[in-house]
Amino acid sequence: MAGRRAGCVPVRPDARPVTEPIDLLAPVAWRIGARWSLPGPRLEIEALVEHADEQDKLSSRDLADTQRIPPGGTPSWTVLSLRSEWRMTSRATLSLALENLTDEDYRIHGSGVNEPGRNVIASVSVSL
């Protein structure tokens, strides 16, 4: 493995060493959450933090693809979201989500689309 860079893999053992990262190499990313369930009011509350590191290890193709990848690479981002669900009855559920509470301007690497800013989602589900 000596002399190899992260994300660079030779096709054959006797092949010339790869000198650049693979296309659309994903950055290090993680997600962690916690959920609280309250049995009395049949309520669940969830907090979620998502993070992706900066990705500036780009292939020649990635460098030329400025529609999907910003010049210089994709910046790091961290997003906090809250979700809740209340089972009003055995057949009806009310859900509320508050996404991207910090209003972070971010893009998933290689997607070409910035994710929405602060967002509120409410729904009612009824089973018949």
Q: For residue 9, give Cα distances in angstroms to 60, 67, 92.
A: 16, 26, 52
pLDDT band for position 17 (50/70/90)?
A: confident
33/24 Cα distance (integer angstroms): 27
> CA torsion angle for 9, 13, 15, 19 (degrees, to 10)?
30
Q: What are residue 60's phi and psi, to 5 degrees?
A: -60, -40
53/102 Cα distance (integer angstroms): 17
The reported pTM is: 0.77
50/73 Cα distance (integer angstroms): 19
Instruction: Summarize pLDDT for 37-95 with one digit per residue, the tens.
Output: 988 879 999 999 999 999 999 999 999 999 999 999 999 999 999 999 999 998 999 99
